[in-house]
Amino acid sequence: MSFEDKGKAKEYWDENIKLVLTLLSVWAFVSFGCGILFVPFLNEITFMGFKLGFWFAQQGAMYVFLILIAVYVKKANTLDKKYGVDE
């Protein structure tokens, strides 16, 4: 066991799950939400020459995906260090 005790292992995993779920809710919000479900509503707004819903579907969602992975990499590495389970 690399953790000090079972409790630490559970704490680590709970924090990890919280991080993943937070990021995945953003993921679902921009793609299924802004890119699909809210498109009719968002298309009323013009953004840099785009209808906003269309922009999310063909550009914005992909930029957000990139940011999400970058945040995950950074946070997950910090979390590993905090619990002393990094490589």
Partner 1 sequence: MDVQTLTYVIVGITFALYIGIAIKSRAGSTKEFYVAGGGVPPVLNGMATAADWMSAASFISLAGIVSFVGYDGSVYLMGWTGGYVLLALLMVPYLRKFGKFTVPDFIGDRYYSQGARTVAVICAIFICFTYIAGQMRGVGVVFSRFLEVEVDTGVYIGMCVVFFYAVLGGMKGITYTQVAQYCVMIFAFMVPAIFLSVMMTGHIFPQLGFGAELLDASGNASGVYLLDKLDGLSAELGFAQYTEGSKSMIDVFFICGALMFGTAGLPHVIVRFFTVPTVKASRSSAGWTLLFIAIMYTTIPALAAFSRVNMIESVNGPDGKGIPHEQAPSWVNSWEKTGLIKWTDKNNDGLMQYSKGDANEMKIDRDIIVLATPEMANLPAWVIALIAAGGLAAALSTSAGLLLVISTSISHDLLKKNLMPNISDKKELIFARLAAAAGIVMAGYFGINPPGFVAAVVAIAFGLAASSLFPAITMGIFSTRMNKEGAIAGMLAGLGFTTVYIIYFKFVNPAGNIPDNWLFGISPEGIGMLGMIINFVVAALVCKVTAATPQSVVDMVESIRFPKGAGEAQDH
Interface with partner 1 (CB under 8 A), residue from 45, 68, 78, 82? 68
The torsion region of residue 66 among left (phi > 0), alpha (psi -120 to 50) and beta comes to: alpha
Is 73 a binding residue for partner 1 by CB under 8 A? The answer is: yes
Please name every residue paired with 50 in a beta bridge, in sequence order, or none if there are none.
47
**Contact code string over 15-54 relative to partner 1, x by CB under 8 A:** -xx--x--xx--x---xx--xxx-x---x---xxxxx--x
18 touches 66 (CB < 8 A) = no
Is 7 a binding residue for partner 1 by CB under 8 A? The answer is: no
Q: Angle 61-82/6-28 helices, nearest 10 degrees?
A: 170
The size of the chain, in residues, is 87
Which residues make up the interface to partner 1 (CB under 8 A)? 2-3, 9, 12-13, 16-17, 20, 23-24, 27, 31-32, 35-37, 39, 43, 47-51, 54-55, 57-59, 61-63, 65-66, 68-70, 72-73, 76-77, 80, 83-87
